[in-house]
């Protein structure tokens, strides 16, 4: 009785603020598409024209409304302050160490710094030396390093940086000995591909345009070759559909080239899309300078090679699901690749094979039981495989920075244990503290979180894993605010990961729930394909089933339940709340795909057709309609509170995708709950900039906590008493 009274008072207090929200006027237009005899109305099509001043004005007005609204919510600024405090407690964070020419190159971010800088050491015990600081390179601009690539002799370093999370890289070349930037500056690229083995040239991805609103910006890209000291205007079209028309490389594909220093007799190429199955080519290195390289097929998608491959000498290792629903590791000879009769290195297990890493004499192989990783090592000489006991259970990955040794770096994290990096010796089978990666530090309350792993019966009887994180002693009486987050696409699993941001909500009494929905890779290839194209509805239906479980078992109630989906997870969250609006109090569509029927008409859309489908196929078109959150918004429905989030420079999910969904719900919902469109003008799909990231997610989390009734995130007294 008391809980109901408090909640009624909460709604009454909120309604006074809701009444003050005056959304920017959003016109509708008579736009429609007819596919396969079905007409789909699109009244917010006009928002796709990002060059139109009216569209820019609409987004700016929406951003101003969101900023003003969230500025009046208590708890948001306190979240930012807490995250800053936690960040400053941590040791320096080192990313992506690479060893070439005896030197070790890496990015490092000090506690409190916004972005990482680039350093190197002559060896692991030597004094580090600064090579590049993105904060001082261009005065007044916040840049972030997205890639580094040292030459094989360690004397030159490629640095790819971007501004405002745009993921369009400017490439610099640094002379490591002098620490000076060479004149070879290449702007507006799709990224670094790596050096040639003679250290005299490098490859990069050329794109037609850096404009993330141009639908054709990333069609027909090319791998170009730049020779040091040469005019960039003369860079060679090394590998593309234009230079090799006989390969029939599709316009949406990213054609890439790479070398392997442990397979110096060959040059390799591939076709990059979101399709998991590899399409690779190779040729003798002696033919690399030919006018036309005689590319041979190394594998096609029909070979069903996925996840990872590696080359050493004349042998190539790869993961396949051919005859193995949970994958197996195989190897074949580069001189005559025969995937149908490839040697099985690691057979299929009851667990899912996720990855492998090669060192001098071993392969370190990672399996997943659906939640946690389990490691095995395969001795390349004896061909024996033995289990490796990890320091603690959780998500684990490995990397070998020097394949002339048998040492690995192994990183492990879990829902309630921070990321820790270890040095693992495959010969002695021992883990030791890493000299490059000091242990993380968190307050005691972050060590007092409980994790439950359960399985929930889905709508069709399939059991769906669900991870639940909460503070010890949390009651299960329906009184808790709960935030659910999931993804469900591309075969990517929601693997355990310590999130200081999410866990900061848990220490404040919120329940965090992570459904492992179909479309992810937790249970192998079948699990992925059970949430893919025509089976995609399983993704959001699994999410809904997990929501019902949380409610039925007292973790929360509908008036206190919030959901969140990011990127492709926008499909999940927008369809979950349009199918079951009664289950949720709030939802966040973070840089999310919310208008699937129009996805392929954005700059990054064509490359995603293998994952979601195309309107040019009658069956896939129907599937895209089912995925489309905007198309399922209906007039007169009591929708939950919604925050759509878009990055202005986002090249992956253009801002009008979440924008059109926000417009539709603003005009349709009768619940009186707020519907906000947050626009990050200093961000893309994401950014390394910690201050931007903190401000972005503080708004998102505070919005959910506010709308779900958390007492620490309510309207400030001065705001509730002010006039509109």
Opening angle at CA 628, ends 627 and 630, nearest 5: 155
- The helix/strand/coil state of 530 is coil
- The helix/strand/coil state of 305 is strand
Encode pLDDT of 239-252 as tens digits: 999 999 999 999 99
Closest CA to 679 of 560, 590, 606: 590
**Distance between CA 460 and CA 530 in Å, rounded?**
12
* pLDDT at res. 717: 80
**Distance between CA 70 and CA 80 in Å, rounded?**
13
Whether 473 contacts 509, CB under 8 Å? no
Closest CA to 614 of 714, 533, 695: 533
Q: How many helices (H) and strands (E) does the chain have?
A: 13, 38
Whether 362 contacts 377, CB under 8 Å? yes
- The helix/strand/coil state of 562 is strand
* pLDDT at res. 721: 52
Closest CA to 118 of 179, 186, 201: 179
Q: List Cβ neighbours of 607 (8 Å cut-off, separation of 6 or more).
A: 218, 252, 253, 254, 272, 273, 274
Q: List Cβ neighbours of 693 (8 Å cut-off, separation of 6 or more).
A: 686, 687
Average pLDDT, 10 consecutive residues per value, the chain (724 residues): 35 45 96 98 98 98 98 97 96 93 97 96 94 94 95 98 93 98 97 97 96 92 98 96 97 96 95 96 92 96 97 95 97 96 97 97 97 97 97 96 96 96 97 90 94 98 98 97 98 96 98 98 96 98 98 98 98 98 98 98 95 98 98 98 97 97 98 98 94 97 98 83 45
DSSP assignment, residue 127?
P
DSSP per residue, 158-221: EEEEEETT---EEEEEEETTTTEEPS--EEEEEEEEEE-TTSSEEEEEE-S---TT-TTTTSS-
- For helices 690-707 and 53-70, the axis angle rounded to 10 degrees is 70
Joined together, the tokens standing for residue 77 give 């600024």
How do strand 201-206 and strand 222-227 relate by DSSP bridges?
antiparallel
DSSP assignment, residue 563?
E
**Distance between CA 442 and CA 86 in Å, rounded?**
7
| Partners of 421 in beta bridges | 411
* pLDDT at res. 434: 87
- Please name the helix (run of DSSP H) or strand (run of DSSP E) that holds residue 296, with its range, or none: strand 296-299
DSSP per residue, 421-457: EEEEETTTTEEEE-SSSPPP---GGGG-EEEEEEEEE
- The helix/strand/coil state of 625 is helix
- CB count in 10 Å sphere of residue 250: 16
**Distance between CA 202 and CA 224 in Å, rounded?**
8
* pLDDT at res. 3: 35
- Please name the helix (run of DSSP H) or strand (run of DSSP E) that holds residue 492, with its range, or none: none
Buried residues in 58-70 as b, exposed as e (16+ CB within 10 A): bbebbbebbeebb
**Distance between CA 212 and CA 165 in Å, rounded?**
12
Joined together, the tokens standing for residue 512 give 């965090």
Encode pLDDT of 326-369 as tens digits: 999 999 999 999 999 999 999 999 999 999 999 999 999 999 99
DSSP per residue, 576-618: HHHH-GGG-SEEEEES----GGGGGGSTTSGGGHHHH--TTSH
Whether 299 contacts 339, CB under 8 Å? yes
**Distance between CA 83 and CA 112 in Å, rounded?**
10
How do strand 511-515 and strand 482-486 relate by DSSP bridges?
parallel
Joined together, the tokens standing for residue 684 give 């893309």
Residue ranges per structural domain of the chain: 2-85+444-715, 362-440
Dihedrals φ, ψ of 662, to 5°? -60, -45
Burial class (CB in 10 A: 0-12, 13-18, 19+), 601: middle
**Distance between CA 688 and CA 116 in Å, rounded?**
8
CATH 3.40.50.1820 fits 2-85+444-715, yes or no: yes
Cα 258 to its chain centre, rounded Å, is 23
């Amino acid at each position: 009785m008391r809980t109901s009274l408090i909640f009624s008072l909460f709604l009454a207090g909120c309604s006074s603020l809701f009444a003050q929200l005056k959304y920017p006027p959003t016109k509708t237009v008579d736009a429609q598409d007819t596919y396969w005899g079905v007409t789909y109305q699109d009244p917010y099509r006009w928002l796709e024209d990002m060059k139109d001043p009216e569209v820019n004005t609409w987004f700016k007005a929406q951003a101003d409304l969101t900023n003003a609204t969230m500025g009046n919510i208590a708890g948001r600024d306190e979240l930012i302050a807490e995250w800053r405090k936690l960040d400053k407690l941590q040791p320096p964070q080192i990313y992506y160490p690479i060893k070439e020419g005896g030197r070790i190159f890496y990015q490092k971010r000090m506690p409190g710094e916004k972005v990482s800088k680039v350093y190197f050491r002559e060896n692991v015990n030597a004094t580090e030396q600064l090579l590049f600081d993105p904060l001082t390179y261009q005065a007044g601009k916040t840049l972030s390093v997205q890639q580094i690539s040292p030459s094989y002799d360690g004397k030159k370093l490629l640095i790819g940086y971007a501004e405002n999370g745009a993921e369009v890289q400017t490439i610099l070349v640094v002379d490591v000995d002098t620490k000076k930037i060479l004149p070879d500056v290449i702007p507006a690229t799709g990224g670094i591909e790596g050096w040639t083995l003679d250290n005299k040239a490098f490859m990069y991805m050329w794109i037609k345009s850096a404009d993330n609103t141009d639908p054709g910006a990333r069609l027909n890209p090319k791998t170009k070759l730049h020779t040091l000291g040469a005019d960039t205007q003369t860079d060679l079209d090394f590998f593309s559909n234009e230079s090799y028309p006989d390969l029939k490389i599709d316009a949406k594909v990213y054609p890439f080239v790479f070398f392997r220093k442990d397979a110096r007799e060959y040059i390799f190429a591939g076709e990059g899309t979101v399709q998991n199955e590899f399409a690779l080519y190779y040729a003798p290195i002696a033919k690399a300078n030919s006018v036309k390289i005689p590319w041979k097929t190394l594998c096609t998608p029909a070979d069903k090679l996925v996840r990872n491959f590696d080359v050493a000498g004349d042998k190539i290792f790869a993961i396949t699901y051919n005859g193995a629903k949970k994958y197996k590791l195989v190897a074949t000879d580069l001189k005559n690749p025969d995937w149908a009769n490839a040697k099985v290195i690691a057979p299929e297990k009851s667990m899912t094979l996720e990855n492998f890493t090669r060192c001098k004499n071993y392969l370190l192989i990672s399996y997943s039981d659906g939640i946690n990783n389990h490691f095995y090592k395969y001795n390349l000489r004896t061909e024996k495989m033995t289990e490796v006991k990890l320091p603690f259970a959780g998500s684990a990955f490995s990397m070998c920075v020097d394949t002339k040794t048998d040492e690995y770096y192994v990183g492990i994290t879990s829902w309630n244990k921070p990321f820790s990096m270890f040095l693992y010796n495959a010969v002695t089978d021992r883990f030791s503290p890493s000299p490059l990666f000091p242990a993380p530090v968190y307050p005691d309350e972050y060590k007092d979180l409980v994790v439950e792993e359960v399985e929930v019966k889905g709508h069709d009887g399939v059991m769906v894993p669900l991870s639940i994180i909460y503070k010890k002693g949390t009651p299960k009486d329906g009184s808790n605010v709960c935030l659910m987050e999931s993804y469900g696409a591309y075969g990517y699993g929601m693997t355990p990961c310590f999130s200081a941001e999410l866990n900061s909500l848990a220490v404040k009494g919120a329940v965090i729930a992570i459904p492992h929905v179909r479309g992810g890779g937790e249970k192998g290839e079948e699990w992925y394909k059970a949430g893919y194209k025509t089976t995609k509805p399983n993704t959001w239906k699994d999410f809904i089933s997990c929501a019902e479980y949380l409610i039925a078992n007292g973790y929360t109630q509908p008036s206190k339940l919030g959901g969140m989906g990011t990127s492709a997870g926008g499909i999940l969250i927008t369809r979950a709340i349009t199918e079951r609006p009664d289950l949720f109090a709030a939802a966040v569509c973070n840089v999310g795909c919310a208008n699937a029927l129009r996805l392929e008409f954005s700059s990054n859309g064509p490359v995603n057709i293998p994952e979601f489908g195309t309107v040019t196929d009658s069956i896939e078109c129907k599937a895209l309609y089912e995925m489309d959150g905007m198309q399922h918004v209906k007039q007169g429905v009591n929708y939950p509170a919604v925050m759509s989030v878009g990055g202005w420079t986002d090249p992956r999910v253009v801002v009008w995708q979440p924008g059109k969904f926000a417009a539709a719900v603003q005009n349709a919902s009768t619940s009186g709950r707020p519907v906000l469109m947050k626009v990050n003008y200093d961000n893309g799909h994401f950014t390394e900039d910690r201050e931007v990231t903190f401000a972005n997610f503080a708004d998102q989390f505070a919005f959910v906590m506010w709308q779900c009734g958390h007492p620490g995130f309510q309207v400030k007294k001065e705001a509730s008493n002010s006039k509109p």
